[in-house]
Structure 1
Amino acid sequence: MTDLAQRMMMDASLSRTEQAALAIGQLAEQAPRGARLGTKTELQEQCGVAKGTFNEALRILQSRGVITVRSGPGGGLFAASPTPIARLGNSILSLDAAEGDVADAVRIRDTLDPLLIEDALEHSSAADIARMRVALAVMQEAVDAGDATGFVRANWDLHAAIARVSPNGILKSIYLSLLDLIESHTVSVEPDDHQSLPQYITERQKLHADLVDALDTRDRDRALRLIREHNTTLTSVR
């Protein structure tokens, strides 16, 4: 058994993506800055995960400044020196459902939403709004297909697009890490006792479309009212 495979077995409660990310992250943190960890193929085989799973783990690690990836001769994965913000993201990534209820992560995320909306109102460019509308279109496709889980995941993509507008690196890092944690532990979506699932996602779609419109027109009062409404009419994610 490889060293990476042994590292991955240390916490079986995590998803395979999380296990691979943590194993490679630990390897990078123990190596000198700039040290070559191996090729993508070598490390994927050592982790024993599918290519898509491995690539998603690399995306997480790159976004947190733990590794760099270089192509061409002599390329591969190299250890980086993560910033304090990146280390904060890594500590959130290491959480699992046993250590912190997903509901707690959702509650913290909701508390941060108004701050991100304020930043989006001030800093959103036309390109940022266009990216939000792409996520809205995917959400609408999920509504039309009756795919509640697909809708929620597209919804998170929208919130991630809004978060990335913020110039506040700490706020953005914490929020995106919380989204990663919530998404990794979501299996299904359930409405509250007063609405059917199709009705729920249809109404949520309209709320998010209205929110993006408010950001586009810089309508602060409307945007903040909608995000308050958003965070008091949540469904259950399991």
Structure 2
Amino acid sequence: LEQYGIGRGTLREALRLLEFQGVIELRPGPGGGPVMTDPDASHLASSLILLMQLNDAPFGVIVEARAALEPMISRLAAERISAGTLVELEETVDRMRGSLNDRREFLEANKRFHDLIAWSSGNPLFGYLADSLLGIMDGTAIGIDYPPHRREAIIDAHAQIYEALVARDPIGSERCMREHIDAYRRYAERKYPDLLGQVIQWDRTLDG
């Protein structure tokens, strides 16, 4: 209050804004107050989705962004990923194999796989960007679904990416990831061509 010369009402509004953005948590009671947190990418994703809706951007732009971003991320991850993260990565592939008939579990493991690779790039900006787009990329919010045979193809692609990362093969990792994203794009264009042209809706995507 002294440093910026503002009133308590302004301070309260500023704190509420920071809480909404996930930067702080306001804890009640004695000894409470604002506490710093570790924000995730959901707030960035929400902002990006809203901006895309305001610009009438269709779902297809997400596919384009991921196709450009993730192969490069996978290339960097092959050089920087830790042994511990490789173990976690293998576990996500095993989870997906064991949840072919469990849509929610399958998609959570799928997201975790891509999250681990993105953050293993060593570039936090890539981590936040990829993480913020993952929830939109699967397409479930606008009606895209994956039958068992498609889920099996995704598992096979993840296994190939994993093997390339274990081999510390940047070129192979980049190629496998590009093929994986391209396969998703072709599947979506073939099965859901109209959906890719739909404008991303902020509230509808969050509900999904």
Name the residue aligned to 1:159. Answer: 114
Shifted more, 151-160 versus 94-103: the winner is 94-103
Between the aligned residues of both structures, percent identity stands at 26
Task: Give runs of aligned pairs for residues 138-157 of structure 1, distance below 5 A.
Answer: 138-143=95-100, 146-148=101-103, 150-157=105-112
C-alpha displacement of 1:153: 3.5
1:69 and 1:75 in contact (8 A); partners too: yes
User: RMSD in angstroms over aligned alpha carbons?
Assistant: 3.8
Aligned to 1:42: none
Provide the C-alpha distance between the structure 2 equivalents of 1:178 and 1:67, rounded to a whole number of angstroms: 23
Match of 2:124 in 1: 169
Cα shift readout 1:109-130 (whole Å, capped 9, x = no counterpart):
2210112112211110011111
- After superposition, residues 26-65 of structure 1 pair within 5 angstroms as 30-31=13-14, 35=15, 37=16, 61-62=21-22
Judging changes above 3 Å, is the alpha-carbon distance between structure 1 residues 72 and 135 closer, same or farther for their aligned structure 2 residues? farther
Is the contact between residue 81 and residue 120 of structure 2 (CA under 8 Å) also seen in structure 1?
yes
User: How far is the alpha carbon of 1:214 from its aligned partner?
Assistant: 1.1
Give distance in 1, aligned partners of 2:107 and 2:42.
26
Distance 1:207 1:78, change over 3 A: same
1:120–1:162 CA contact under 8 A, matched in 2: yes
Looking at structure 2, the residues matched to 121 and 102 of structure 1 have their Cα atoms a distance apart, in angstroms, of 29
TM-fit CA distance, 1:178 = 1.5
CA gap 1:181/1:229 in 2 versus in 1, 3 angstroms: closer
Q: Deviations over 1:166-224 (max 9, x none)?
A: 22222222221112444696264435xxxxx2222112201101211110111233222
The unaligned stretches of length 5 or more in structure 2 are: 1-9, 196-208
**TM-score, L = length of structure 1:** 0.58
Please identify which structure carries the higher helix content. 2
Is the Cα contact below 8 Å between 2:73 and 2:118 reproduced in 1? yes
Taking structure 1 as reference, are residues 185 and 199 closer, same or farther at Cα in structure 2, changes over 3 Å only? Answer: closer
Paired residue type of 1:222: G
CA distance in 1, matches of 2:150, 2:138: 19
Contact 2:96 2:109 in 1 (8 A): yes
For these two proteins, the number of residue pairs brought into alignment is: 174
The answer to which structure, 1 or 2, has the higher relative contact order (CA under 8 A, 6+ apart) is 2
* Corresponding residue number in structure 2 for 1:199: 149
| TM-score, normalisation: structure 2 | 0.65
Aligned to 2:24: 67
Q: Say if 1:207 and 1:79 are closer, same or farther in 2 by CA, change over 3 A.
A: closer
The question of 1:101 aligning with 2:67 is answered no
- The equivalent of 2:164 in structure 1 is 214
Whole-Å Cα distance in 1 between the matches of residues 58 and 104 of structure 2?
19
Residue of structure 1 equivalent to 2:47: 91
> Aligned partners of 1:116 and 1:67: how far apart in 2?
29
